[in-house]
Structure 1
Amino acid sequence: YALHHAADRRQFGQQIGKFQGVSFQIADMITEIDAAEWLTLSAAWRLDQKLPSNREIASAKLYATEMLARITDASLQVFGGMGLMDDFPIERFWRDARVERIWDGTSEIQRHIISRDLLRPLGA
């Protein structure tokens, strides 16, 4: 939604996506989305290969849900005040992003799983 809004919305006679402040946010958003996708695919591949994958799954879940919060917040910035209006779904996505960090294991639980997997072999 933010990408299309940046392409369609005009301010000061040009699309807001042409402003570096907006275009750089969009570049950061897609980079984070791609990183989350690769972490998820890597964890799924390890699981499919019957390899130990608890840390990779927790890392993917942690990164993807934290990323979702950052992305929806940045999307609200792109929309400006209109992002909080019921006319656009971004406001609901922003609220839903908070829930994603809680169910199926909070971000803190995911960090615990990751650190335990790293430290346990070292006797810690």
Structure 2
Amino acid sequence: MRKVFSVALSVVAGFFFCTVSLLGFIPTQSPGMKWGVMVGLTVPAILALCCGLALERFHGWKRDTGTVLLCSSGFAAFIVLTVACMLMTEDFRKMMQINTLELFSDHFTGGATIVGFAGLGWLLLKKS
């Protein structure tokens, strides 16, 4: 039963890490507000991950943490790729409003967040 709750908490943590990665693409007028929201959503991700690891008594914590980070960054990258592919079709661009595309225009921060989570996850898996 502990394993089931541990996996469920890892999924919750992965959801929050994926959300943080996708929020990196949204531009804001003040960078402090953006980073505040991203850090604010990273806190529940870390708490859920730590609770899941505590249920397993931190056995294999590097492997589990690396897996969560790699999976969440991979899923976020898949979402970005899917949206980019949909934007290549003319029918989809016609359905979208012009200002909707500006909502995801901070490619540097979003890409850096995905690469950062993926790199940290790969490093943890390599060290386990």
TM-score normalised by structure 2 residue count: 0.37
Q: Which has the higher helix share?
A: 2
TM-score normalised by structure 1 residue count: 0.38
